[in-house]
Amino acid sequence: MTPRLQRLFDLVQDLNPVERLGEITVEAAAADYRAVAERLKAQCGFEQLIDLCGVDYGAYADKPREGPRFAVVVHLLSITHNWRLRLRAFCPDDEFPVLGSLIEVWPCANWFEREAFDLFGIMFEGHPDLRRILTDYGFVGHPFRKDFPLSGHVEMRYDPEQRRVIYQPVTIDPREVTPRLVREKNYADTE
Which tens digits make up the pLDDT trace of 87-136?
999 999 999 999 999 999 999 999 999 999 999 999 999 999 998 888 87
Pick the CATH number of 3-140 from 3.30.460.80, 3.40.50.300, 3.20.20.480, 3.40.50.10420: 3.30.460.80
180 — pLDDT class (breaks 50, 70, 90): low
Look at the pTM and tell me if it is higher than 0.85. no
Q: Please state the domain extents for the chain.
A: 3-140
Diameter of the chain measured on Cα atoms: 70
Q: Which residues contact 50 (CB under 8 A, 6 or more apart)?
A: 75, 76, 77, 84
pLDDT value at position 139? 76
Within a 13 Å sphere around the CA of 72, how many CA atoms are in the beta-carbon half?
Answer: 31
User: Per-residue pLDDT for 150 more than 90?
Assistant: no
The predicted structure's pLDDT at residue 51: 96
**Sequence-ordered list of residues with C-beta below 8 angstroms from that of 75, at least 6 positions apart, any chain:** 49, 50, 51, 52, 84, 85, 86
- Give per-residue pLDDT as tens, 42-57: 999 999 999 999 999 8
Half-sphere exposure of 113 (CA within 13 A, CB side): 24
Helix (H) / strand (E) element for 110: namely helix 109-120
- Between the alpha carbon of residue 130 and those of residues 9, 17, 100, 145, the distances in Å are 34, 31, 12, 18
Backbone angles phi, psi at 42, to 5 degrees: -75, -45
Of the listed ranges 33-42, 67-76, 132-141, the one predicted with least confidence: 132-141
Tell me the C-alpha distance between 45 and 77, whole Å: 8
Contact 150, 170 (CB under 8 A): no
